[in-house]
Structure 1
Amino acid sequence: MFQGMEYVYEVYKEKSFSKAAASLFISQPSLSTNVRRVENRIGYPIFDRSTKPLSLTECGRQYIQCVERIMNIERDFSDFINDWGDLKTGNLILGGSNLFSSWILPPLIADFASCYPHIQIQLIEESTVELTKMLQKGAIDLVLDNTCLDPVIFDSRLYQEEHLILAVPKIFPVNGRLLPFQLDVSDIRSGRFLDPDIPPVPISEFRTEPFIMLKQENDTGKRAREICLENHFEPIIVFEMDQQMTSYNITCSGMGISFIGDIMITKVSPDPRVVYYKLPLKNNSRKICFYWKKGRYFSRAMEEFLKMCR
Structure 2
Amino acid sequence: MEFRQFRYILTTAKEGTISKAAQKLYISQPSLSQLIAGVEKKIGAPLFDRSVTPLRPTAIGSLYLETARRILDLDEEFQQRTDDMLKRSAGSITVGSSPFRSTYLLSRFLPGFQRDYPQIQVRLRESTTRQLEGLAQDGSVDIVLSLAPIDLKQFTAEELFQEELLLALPPDHPLAVHYGLPDRLSPSLPVLPLAALRDTPFISLHPEQKIHNHMMTLCAKAGFAPQIKLETRSLEAAQSLAGAGLGATLLPDTIVAGFRPAQPPCYAALDIHPHRRVLIAWRRSRYLSQAARAFIRSLRAFCSLPAPNGILPEAQAPQ
Change beyond 3 A, Cα 1:40–1:237: closer
Equivalent residue runs for 1:67-216 within 5 Å: 67-84=68-85, 86=87, 88-179=89-180, 182-183=181-182, 185-187=184-186, 192-193=187-188, 199-214=190-205
Work out which of the residue numbers 290, 306, 319 in structure 2 matches 1:300: 290
The answer (yes or no) to whether the contact 2:179–2:190 under 8 Å persists in 1 is no
Distance 1:230 1:16 in 2: 42
Deviations 1:13-52 (CA, angstroms, capped at 9, x unpaired):
4444455455555555554443333222211122344544
Distance 1:295 1:112 in 2: 26
Report the AA paired with residue 282 of structure 2.
W
Distance 1:216 1:53 in 2: 22
TM-score using structure 1 length: 0.83
Change beyond 3 A, Cα 1:171–1:68: same
Distance 1:97 1:19 in 2: 24
The answer (yes or no) to whether the contact 1:87–1:116 under 8 Å persists in 2 is no
Change beyond 3 A, Cα 1:51–1:202: closer
Aligned-residue identity in percent: 29
Aligned to 2:210: 219
CA shift for structure 1 position 70: 0.8
Structure 2, unaligned runs of 5 or more = 302-319
Structure 1, unaligned runs of 5 or more = none
Change beyond 3 A, Cα 1:209–1:32: closer
Aligned to 1:247: 238
Change beyond 3 A, Cα 1:207–1:29: closer
Deviations 1:60-101 (CA, angstroms, capped at 9, x unpaired):
121111101111111112121222454633321111233223
Report the AA paired with residue 301 of structure 1.
A
Distance 2:232 2:6 in 1: 39
The 4+ residue runs of structure 1 with deviation greater than 6 A are: none
Change beyond 3 A, Cα 1:88–1:24: farther
Distance 2:57 2:185 in 1: 54
Report the AA paired with residue 252 of structure 2.
G
TM-score using structure 2 length: 0.81
CA shift for structure 1 position 152: 1.9
Change beyond 3 A, Cα 1:166–1:28: closer
The answer (yes or no) to whether the contact 2:166–2:251 under 8 Å persists in 1 is yes
Change beyond 3 A, Cα 1:44–1:246: same
